[in-house]
Structure 1
Amino acid sequence: MSQSVIEPPFKPPQSPTQFSAIGYLFGQFETVLPADEHQSKLKGSLQLFDGTKLPARVGFTVWQRLSSKGNFNLDNAYLWRVYFRTTKESKLCQIQLIKCVSPLENYSSDNPPPPQTGLDQFQIRGRILDTDEQKVVIRLERNETPPPGQEKQSRWQPFLITVSGSLPGAEKGQFWELLCIRKGEEVVLKQANLIDETIAVTQTSPTSVQTSATNQSKNSSSKSSKTSTDSTSSPVIMINGRQPEMTVKFTTRPNLPEQGKTVTLEVSGEGGITVRASLNRKTLKKQVEKMDSFADWIAALSGKVARIGSDGVVELEGAGVTVFEKKTQKVEEKPDA
């Protein structure tokens, strides 16, 4: 008797607006070249059970782990959890095999996995970029902040996924969760769920807050001390029971103290919102050095909303600062007539 996948096809998101594009395909992976330990990925193709053939790749670490299993055989077809992209015509491309999730001996091309395993299903979570009667274009962003200096690398850039179908009433910028199915090479919309981003405020149990060394003025320091003593009644902002994330841009260079492991950075953004976060001093120092190296820059303080202090300041946790160089556009001077 065939078994189902070990884990649920689609895990609940860690946050309501967590971006993702994941799916399940059943087929035989064929490598182009023999496995080489110096390669980060093995390129090849995935021959699906219905005859569809898709370009695919697998990480070398994943491949080594599979190859070490005695019952793994390249001549067999398996159910794979995959990352994927699509073309503008909604066709699957850039398939990356991230895990073999089927029992290795139970399925074959003549006996594919049952639908409850997630076979040929895809979950897409992102913001609407465009939609019409024939297609839906979703914009996906990275859930993690890029390491300093790597912001412009392709692996950290947003990307688009296009699926066939219509989504009446959907508006640009809304966050949606789509469940799609495969028809040949095409990704087709089956179900859709609008994610409610309404913010709710609840009360927390008493929480101890460690007072950190700060680069702010005495007035700012007194605010931090007051927050640490009054945090027992401070509210936590939640979205569908989970912490939202917040990003505030700023252009004022912080003045760092010479000593201390942490500093408290307080930034005011648009609409009069002020956020506060404790940061590692050495890590923040590297970002300040980047500020000093740029002729013009803008920085962003990002983190999860932990609570609202008694002074009305939004406190972030797990926060970090990213600095971007602002490049001025050259304006060509027209010669006098």
Structure 2
Amino acid sequence: MTTTERGPSRYVHDLILHSSPEELAAGAVPFLRAGLDAGEVAVIATDEPTAALLQDALGPHDRLQVLSQADVHPGRTPAAITALRRLADRWGGDEPQHVRIVGQTDFGATPRDWLEWQRYEAAVNEVLRPCGIWGLCTYDTGVLPDEVVATGLRTHPHLVTGAGRLANPDFVDPAGFLRGLPTPEEPLERTEPLLDVVDVRDYIGLRHAVGERLAALGGDRDRLEDLHLAIDEMSSNAVRHGGPPVQLRLWASADRVVCTISDGGTGMDDPFAGYGPAHGEDLSRGGMGLWLARQLCDHVDVVDDGAGLTVRLTTALH
């Protein structure tokens, strides 16, 4: 079932493309003012020059909130999803009211960084469906790479311009978009691993072996502890829910650590997995492993090749 077949969503995900401050203000200011006039809370979460521009155009208002860019879009995508849910809980109100947010994402400096936010832009259409948020994402076409702009056009159902709001003809079903994204190659996987366990039987022994290898790397302690926890969660998931054999491989270079956990089970055809707890707010039911891993690691890739499932975790050492 596609997202559109599931019926309307409370979450609204719009895009404004701009190449100048004036072009941005022409679309964003009426968007925010309409929310304020309707009794909604309006939020600006952009860089400081953009926030100042929009504030000056709107003037003071007791329901206008100005947050830092990092408040709404922190460094990793699960933290951004959590931040938006909290804003919805705090200011979203009952239907049909929303909290209106003009947000600006820092996509990072490399294609590997972009990919995590490309996934995010598609996934939020599904995972934020219950949230009373009307978001307007700002994309500066003079700054952002063409690849990122193209993603924006494929992941936002509506476009906002100075002339108004219109349906986006380039929007595609989020699940299909996510399934179509490539899995980046990882050169470290072509080198000799630090640890290669081809058939995990001793889970406790595996945990200790991974910990010893990571401790010997001398990287940032907190990052390595986070990675160790994510590996532990993914290994446990593979043993409990996948089919044998479960294999773990670990590599490291001077700047990053890579770990793959594979199983021989039936796979998992859910492109939204790990962008929220599997059972929503009921954390007692489990389903936290992949959600936790996405919070703990810089990059998480899930590969279902028809012969089982592989989860690849990547974290910078410093």
Relative to total residues, which structure has the larger helix share, 1 or 2? 2
Which of structures 1 and 2 has the bigger CA Rg?
1
Relative to total residues, which structure has the larger strand share, 1 or 2? 1
Global fold match (TM > 0.5): no
Q: How high is the TM-score relative to the length of structure 1?
A: 0.30
